[in-house]
Amino acid sequence: MKLLALSGSLRARSSNSAVLRSALDFFDGATTTADIGALPHFNPDLDGEDATPPAPVAVLRAAVGAADAVLVVSPEYAHGVPGVLKNALDWLVSSGECVHKPVAVITASPFPTGGDHANAQLRETLRMMTAEVITAACREIPAVGPLIDPATDRVKDEATLADLRTAMSHLTAAATTAATATTATPRPSRTA
């Protein structure tokens, strides 16, 4: 079973990427993280049926297509989704790799109530893309700063780790179901 992870933060010391790494530790299967920082700006002129997508886009589409589930972990900027992450999702709208794919959304914020706008917007966008948003695997993590161990760049807070383990068990279960269904009936997907 394979999980592809996307971080909405490009920062080297990103708290969301630290949460992502900790969550991946609890996924029961192979995990990879996509580099979305190298993607060009989405341009529908490059996205037609006869167009050859830019190489980083083809790599992303192949990685999502090969995954049984996707984990998105992201900060919130100005009550919205980081542009780099929305850009990555825009490249995946028409190509179809997210259709019926189990997806979990986690947002982490340094603020006591932050991240809820981006979390809701990401879920809405993914549902519009016909992804299967696994609500039981989604989380909002407020006041994330003290929960991270800067020495390991992972979550150190035991309660948060336990919650991430629970979230990832739900995503693992959904990925298992999806992988079984895919074996019986391949998902629709346009060639990258």
Ligand X SMILES: Cc1cc2nc3c(=O)[nH]c(=O)nc-3n(C[C@H](O)[C@H](O)[C@H](O)COP(=O)(O)O)c2cc1C
Of 70-78, 152-160, 164-172, 182-190, the window that binds ligand X (rule: CB under 6 A) is 70-78
Of 8-16, 27-35, 37-45, 98-106, the window that binds ligand X (rule: CB under 6 A) is 8-16
Give the count of beta carbons closer than 10 Å to the beta carbon of residue 153.
Answer: 15
Mark out the alpha helices in the chain (DSSP H runs).
15-24, 55-66, 83-93, 116-128, 158-184
Output the smallest distance, CB 153 to ligand X, in A.
11
3 state SS of 64: helix
Output the smallest distance, CB 57 to ligand X, in A.
24
Residues 25-44 that bind ligand X (CB under 6 A): none
Residues 125-154 that bind ligand X (CB under 6 A): none
Does 110 help bind ligand X (rule: CB under 6 A)? yes
Distance between CA atoms of residues 172 and 109, nearest Å: 25
Which of 62, 184, 69 is closest to 132 using CA atoms?
69
Does 77 help bind ligand X (rule: CB under 6 A)? yes
Does 12 help bind ligand X (rule: CB under 6 A)? no
Which of 148, 142, 122 is closest to 133 using CA atoms?
122
Report the residue number, 11 or 127, with the smaller CB distance to ligand X: 11
156: burial class by Cβ within 10 Å (0-12, 13-18, 19+)? middle
Q: Which residue is nearest to ligand X (CB)?
A: 114
Which positions lie near ligand X, rule CB under 6 A?
Answer: 9, 11, 14-16, 75-79, 109-111, 114-115
